[in-house]
Amino acid sequence: MYEPVVSDILTRIRRTRLVPIITIDDPSKAVPLVDALASGGLPCAEVTFRTASAAESLRRITGERPDLLVGAGTVLSPEQAALAQSCGARFVLSPGLNRRVVRWCQDHGLPIFPGVCTPTDIEMALEQGLEVVKVFPIEPIGGLPYLKAIAAPFPTLEYLPTGGISAANLAAYLSFDKVVACGGSWMTPAAWIAAGAFDRVRDAARDAVAAARPAAAGR
Ligand code: 3PG
């Protein structure tokens, strides 16, 4: 049950190559925000569980826009994973690798991409049967050279780097064939969301899609 779901979600993530990370304080902004991303060419998002509004925002998005691929981020406990799934999340990410969260998601058919930072983390991920992991926070820990260095001993794994990625360095990450997609919040800054500046979100998404295109074509 778990593997086919993961493969379906990964197919969709590989297609967009980019997962916008959104942190929402006001649930009424949730649907306009994902609409702006979708109109810029990104029909997907990770809603972080960093605010009290996360669950309600996720519920509204998945209820009103069921065709978008939307997951939950910053999931730190099995209870939060269960809440995310009940709100319609199609996948889960976490900043680190919590074995209980990974196990819960695997047991409940919810694709999980936990964060890793070191070769030891990666060995733990392999032990739990994972094939794709988030690498966080990629820029402060060494960027693409670091990712290539830690990926070398683990040829079967693939990566979702996040943390400090922007339109400026996106193409470089995507040109590495072990990178499934990149995650980032640069298209959805809090000030734009608060001001309802959804046209700016749409334009940033469009620019990001354009920045990702040469890398995709080159692979
Ligand atoms: C994450 O949750 O993966 C990070 O907050 C993303 O990092 P960024 O905000 O630098 O894009």
Angle at 29 between CA 27 and CA 32, to 5 degrees: 130
* Cα 74 to Cα 93: distance, rounded to the nearest angstrom: 6
pLDDT > 90 in the chain, percent: 95
pLDDT > 70 in the chain, percent: 97
Chain centroid to CA 5: 16
Q: Ligand 1: residues whose CB is within 6 Å?
A: 21, 73, 136, 162-165, 183-186
- Give the amino acid at 175: S
Q: Identify the bridge partners of residue 21 per DSSP, sorted by sequence position.
A: 46
Active-site pick, 3, 29, 46, 131: 46
- Separation of CA 144 and ligand 1 centre (Å): 16
- With bands split at pLDDT 50, 70 and 90, how would you rate the model's confidence at 217? low
Write out pLDDT tens, residues 89-113.
999 999 999 999 999 999 999 999 9
134 is an active site residue: yes
- Separation of CA 104 and ligand 1 centre (Å): 24
Q: Identify the bridge partners of residue 121 per DSSP, sorted by sequence position.
A: none
127 is an active site residue: no
- The residue whose two tokens read 């998005």 is 61
